[in-house]
Structure formats: structure tokens, C-alpha cells
Amino acid sequence: MEINIQPTLKNEGVILYPLEENDFEALYDVASDPKIWEQHPNKDRWKKEVFQTFFDGALQSKSAFKIAENITGNPIGSTRYYDYNETDNSIFIGYTFYGTSCWGNGINKSVKALMLDYIFQFVSKVNFHIGSNNTRSQIAIGRIGAQKIAEEEVAYFGEETKLNFVYEIIKENWERNNKLKS
């Protein structure tokens, strides 16, 4: 079965649209807040020329999304699927950022649940790269059931290599944990 890794995904809170070139300014308006990148391995991504490199890589991936609020349609961040491994039956979710107005209100959990529910139709494992100093994201990914399994250097598109922790969610665990919550 072939995977569409850039569908439009929607739930009651958010809509994930396939990223388009004309999304740059709206997403940069969100990403231009230095606070978003404080714990991120690439701390200067709030600068327009650095964000442009990030955005170009997202477009070239053909698997990135603009995240918008479902009710208002306002852009609130971006995320993507990447590094599908057919042999390992796995894929990564990452390169995620949200405007600070979305922090602590369930948006990340809602987006990740939407993406995981969709992609687990096709793979048995989902991995996440989280910056080694990004405790905010490490805590958030742990809250949705991901387990740290490794540490590795990650080469970001057009940027320096940085130490990341690798977290993983297994399909069976995701399905079991979400059935218990319903």
C-alpha cells in the first residue's frame, strides 16, 4: 500500500494542510518569535533568512504541513513526516513548531494524535527527533506515550548537525493506550 505522507488532516481543533510556497509569510509571522526557538537546537530560526532555509527544506520534503486552527483558519505552526523506512516499517514526525499562544493548551497532543492515527494505518513505529536540550518537547512527547530509545547527531537541511534524542511510539502501544482513554 502506498502512503500519502501529505494529506489534509482535520479534527475538531486543527487542520493540517499540505505546505505550499505561499504559506511562507503567514508561518514566518508565527515563527519570528525567538521564544519558540529558545530550547531548540537551531536557536536562530526566528531570523527570516534562517527560517527561509527551514521553510525551503520543508517544501522540498513534500511531506510538511501548515497547521491551522480549525475554527479561525489562522496558522499556528508547522510539522512534517520524514524518513520513511520501508524495511523498518517506520517513519518520523518532527520539525514541529507552534506559536507560543498554543503552548500548554492541548494543541500539540491534538496534532500528534491526528498524525499518529493517520500514519499508523501504514507503519508499525513512529519516531521523533527531539533536541537534547529541549526539555519542553521531551516532556510533551513523553506525555503522548513516546519512549526515549537513542541519541544521535541530526543533520538539519542547510544547518549544522545537532545532538538529538530519538523517541519512539509503537502502533500497538498507541492503540492500546488510546482505547483505555476512550
Could you read off the pLDDT of 53-110 as tens digits, one per residue? 999 999 999 999 999 999 999 999 999 999 999 999 999 999 999 999 998 889 999 9
Q: So where are the chain's domains?
A: 9-181
Strand order in the sheet with 75-85: 9-10, 14-18, 64-69, 75-85, 90-98, 125-131, 161-170, 147-155
Q: Residue 10 corresponds to which cell in the numbers above?
A: 482535520
Q: How far apart are CA 149 and CA 177, in angstroms?
A: 19
Is the per-residue pLDDT at 174 higher than 80? yes
pLDDT in tens, 112-124: 999 999 999 999 9
pTM assigned to the model: 0.92
Q: Does domain 9-181 have CATH number 3.40.630.30?
A: yes
Question: Sorting pLDDT into bands at 50, 70 and 90, what band is 179?
Answer: low
Per-residue pLDDT of 3-35, as tens digits, reads 899 999 999 999 999 999 999 999 999 999 999
| Contacts by 86-89, CB closer than 8 A, 24 or more apart | 88/125, 89/123, 89/124, 89/125
